[in-house]
């Protein structure tokens, strides 16, 4: 049988739940009414009207959200300096703390290397004291 004919049973395509698809685990966390709604959506095909309806609903939700107010700017503000909150990344204080922690890590690494060297020397001496010396003469078969 050629591979193109598809010997395996085709998987049923789930309709995407806007804005995200639900896994089985997230599906179980939903209320029973929501579960019924998703099950009914699973079985019906996506049509232009359902897609546009859900798209309009998403747009209305975004219009009602506070995020839109945060992102809204006036045309006159285009040439002014950006007055948004500072980037939440690393600051000078964080950079200083980062350098200190890197220094501590370097000290710890150096200590570990030193202990490994000392440990290997001690282990060699211990093995030499407990094992009898090997016979250095060549063996005859």
Confidence of residue 37 (pLDDT cuts 50, 70, 90): confident
CA 101 to chain CA centroid, nearest Å: 24
pLDDT band at 19 (very low <50, low <70, confident <90, very high): very low
Residue 135: CA count within 13 A, CB half-sphere: 4
**Run of H or E residues at 110:** helix 92-130
CA atoms in the 13 A half-sphere facing the CB of 22: 17
57/52 Cα distance (integer angstroms):
8
pTM of this structure: 0.28
* Percent above pLDDT 70 for the chain: 53
How distant is the alpha carbon of residue 120 from its chain centre? 40
Among 13-17, 88-92, 104-108, the range with the most confident prediction by mean pLDDT is 104-108
Q: Please report, for the chain, the start and end positions of each structural domain, with discontinuous segments joined by +.
A: 14-71, 93-130
């Amino acid at each position: 049988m050629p591979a193109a004919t598809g010997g395996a049973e085709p998987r049923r395509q789930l309709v995407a739940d806007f804005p995200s698809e639900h896994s089985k685990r997230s599906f179980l966390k939903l209320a029973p009414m929501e579960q019924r709604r998703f099950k009914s959506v699973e079985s019906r095909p996506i049509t232009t009207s359902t897609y546009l309806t859900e798209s309009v609903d998403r747009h209305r939700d975004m219009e009602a959200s506070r995020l839109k107010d945060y992102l809204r700017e006036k045309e006159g503000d285009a040439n002014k300096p950006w007055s948004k909150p500072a980037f939440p990344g690393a600051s000078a204080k964080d950079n200083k703390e980062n350098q200190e922690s890197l220094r501590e890590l370097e000290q710890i690494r150096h200590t570990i290397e030193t202990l490994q060297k000392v440990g290997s020397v001690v282990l060699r001496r211990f093995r030499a004291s407990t094992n009898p010396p090997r016979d250095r003469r060549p063996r005859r078969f």
